[in-house]
Chains A and B, each alone.
Chain A
Amino acid sequence: MRFNEKELVSLSRQPSEKAAELGMRGPKKGDVVKKRLVKLVVNFLFYFRIDEEEPIGALLLEQCRVEREDSQTFSIAFLDEAERKYLFECDSEEQCGEWVDAIIKASYEFMRKNLIFYRTEIHRLTGKDPLEQYGISDETRFQDCFTIKMTLFKENQPKTSEHLV
């Protein structure tokens, strides 16, 4: 499968949400823990050999499960297969927690769900769709789930709407 490698490498050099030296173990049997510079940029996790310019590899952080393995270790599992579980060893419990948090929230799909949540809630609270002012309420990107939710919401509305002083 082809991908735009140079552009992805360029992305790895961008300002990062989070970067640290962690112990990293690959998903294959026999993979050992190695010290890597791990860098979170948008929804990609890049990992470098210490002091190297170009990353060894990149992981797309979508459709993955991030879990705490113990107080200082977390894992990222893809495809629910044991084979594709990457392990990361942190220096502290706090650092571990921060990484788990940051990786979960970096996912595009996670952000999309949040957007739909806020959109629905703001509509419920104000009667207005907040995306209308940006002229993007019809975008497919935010459309389907919202439409479904709005249909359900309207069906469940009580008949009287006057409840404020």
Chain B
Amino acid sequence: MKLDEKVVSHYESSDSPVDKEGYLYKKGEIKTSYQKRWCMLKGNLLFYKERPTDRDLTGVIVLEGCTVQLCESEEQFAFSLVWSEPGLRTYKFAAEDQDSQESWIKALLSANHSYLALLVMDLEKKYRGERLEEQLCESLLTDAPFVMPSFTAEPGFPAASCLSGQTSTLSSFPAQGAGAGPMLQALTVSSKTASKRSPKLWPKRSANVVPVNTPAPPLGEWSGVCFSSQEDFSKLHDDFGKEVKELIADWSRRGRGDDVVQEENLIDFG
């Protein structure tokens, strides 16, 4: 199988963040002795070359599908990258001291794509919850009708396609499958019926920063920290709904006819 090496080298030499770099002793692939190599971790790739100033890379290890383990070795402060499928490799490394060993193991353990994807998904969910709350507070302060916050900050944002009526291909709201459908539809309905009002507290974002659609998370160590999204959002919505209803009732009593939010605007999740 070919790997476009120029692309890989370009990534290594680009100014994207380096997650960790330093010397490690790497057990040779042909010779079995440990050789000192300058290693650089970027994303889910571990690059290595003889010296930091070398232009040419000796090699790269794609860190997907492996575990990082302490290992038995004649070398001190050793650890290995293990692919457990038959026929796949184990790469052995040794660090210069214990701190370095621990630090490298920690960095390599969390280098895989899924780890980051799960983390982003989790933060995205928290963020949306906070924005919902912020928007509601703002509405209450300015006596305006509650408008479901438009999560659209940039074109290409998942919510943008949702608002225009297309169904998002991947669930932009973290959901384990079927739950995503009704939620996204509900967001569409709400934005169309409520009055148009751009969220004031929504500053311009840089073009690069657009929330991501992520693949369904693999179950594993992180399943514990991810919330049950559908339950949480429903409850949040109900709680806000109660507050809004009370406010509407209050406004009606005080005779503010103009901006009364219709009952129907509140999304019914059924």
Q: Which residues in A have some Cβ–Cβ distance to B below 8 Å?
A: 1-12, 14, 17, 42-44, 54-60, 62-64, 78-79, 84, 98, 101-102, 104-105, 108-119, 121-122, 125-126, 130, 134, 136, 139-141, 144-145, 164-165
Contact = CB atoms under 8 A, between A and B. Distances in A.
A63 to B, nearest CB: 5
B169 A101 contact: yes
A17 B215 contact: yes
A59 B7 contact: yes
Given A60-B11, A110-B208, A130-B126, A8 B3 contact: yes
A108 B141 CA distance: 40
12 contacts: A1-B59, A6-B89, A10-B83, A10-B88, A11-B64, A11-B65, A55-B1, A63-B11, A78-B7, A102-B169, A118-B126, A125-B131
Contacts of A11: 62, 64-65
B1 A4 contact: no
Q: Which 5 A-B pairs have the closest CB atoms?
A: A2-B59, A108-B43, A118-B123, A42-B113, A57-B2
Interface string B61-81: 110111000000000000000
B124 A2 contact: no
Contacts of A119: 123
How large, as a class, is the contact surface on chain B?
A: 35 or more
Contacts of A4: 60-62, 89, 91
Given A1-B5, A3-B60, A7-B89, A105 B14 contact: no
B124 A101 contact: no
A65 B127 CA distance: 28
Interface stretch (B15-23, B187-195, B234-242, B255-263): B15-23
A52 to B, nearest CB: 11
Interface string B201-222: 0000100111111110000000
Interface of B: 1-11, 14, 16-17, 19-20, 29, 43-45, 56-62, 64-66, 83, 85, 87-89, 91, 107, 110, 112-114, 116-117, 119-120, 123-124, 126-127, 130-131, 133-134, 137, 140-141, 156, 169-170, 205, 208-215, 225
Nearest to A108: B43
Contact of A43 (B5, B19, B43, B213): B43
A79 B6 contact: yes
Contact of A78 (B1, B4, B209): B4
Contacts of B156: 101, 104
